[in-house]
Amino acid sequence: MNFRMSFIEFAVEQRILRFGEFTTKAGRLSPYFFNAGLFDHGDSLRRLCQFYVQAIEADGLSFDMLFGPAYKGIPLAVGIAMTFAGRGRDLPFAYNRKEAKDHGEGGLLVGAPLAGRVLIVDDVISAGTSARESVEIIRAAGAFPAGVAIALDRMERGRDARSAAQEFEENHDLPVIAVANLDHLLGFLQHHPEFAAHAAAVHAYRQHYGSFA
């Protein structure tokens, strides 16, 4: 089993990826729900970050440091940096605050100074707001955004025929690296008979709302 399918299996086992009826932010009735905020134990976060590193290394993207947008990106940046360090690559990382601190060191940024090619790490790209803000922060610091790494690409149409990830890639000329996407989820479901009913519902959702751009 490749790491993308292993990630889907892991997310299902941990009940981070659930099946049923869920209303998305866009008001769509989805047959599945992915909540990366439920990777809330040390071992589950450790394993999640290992999957991120596998996806980043498989992509071959060149970058110099990590940036985690507040809030879910913060533990991801820390965990992914630690995972890379365990593999012999010591990367600096930084993250932002939602509100500027007016005492102590002050400012919006915490961690290493933003420099070189900066890889943004987050859980998903929905409306793309967090990713766009991260790009602005990185460029304002005189550094260069290298791309965005996320856990799951839902591959849903956004404001047009493109998905949120595709829209971000085209608008910013930056790659989005996903550990897994909706097609990987469908592949997993099709090979697990116990999820047959959910497979049909997810496939129908993909046909109705999916981006095929």
Which active-site residues does the annotation give? 101, 103
**Contact (Cβ atoms closer than 8 angstroms) between residue 30 and residue 13:** no
| Rounded distance between C-alpha atoms, residue 108 and residue 189, angstroms | 42
Residue 37's φ and ψ, nearest 5 degrees, are -65, -15
| Rounded distance between C-alpha atoms, residue 6 and residue 51, angstroms | 9
| Rounded distance between C-alpha atoms, residue 13 and residue 140, angstroms | 41
The CA–CA distances, whole Å, from 104 to 69, 100, 111, 188 equal 21, 11, 14, 49
| Rounded distance between C-alpha atoms, residue 195 and residue 19, angstroms | 9
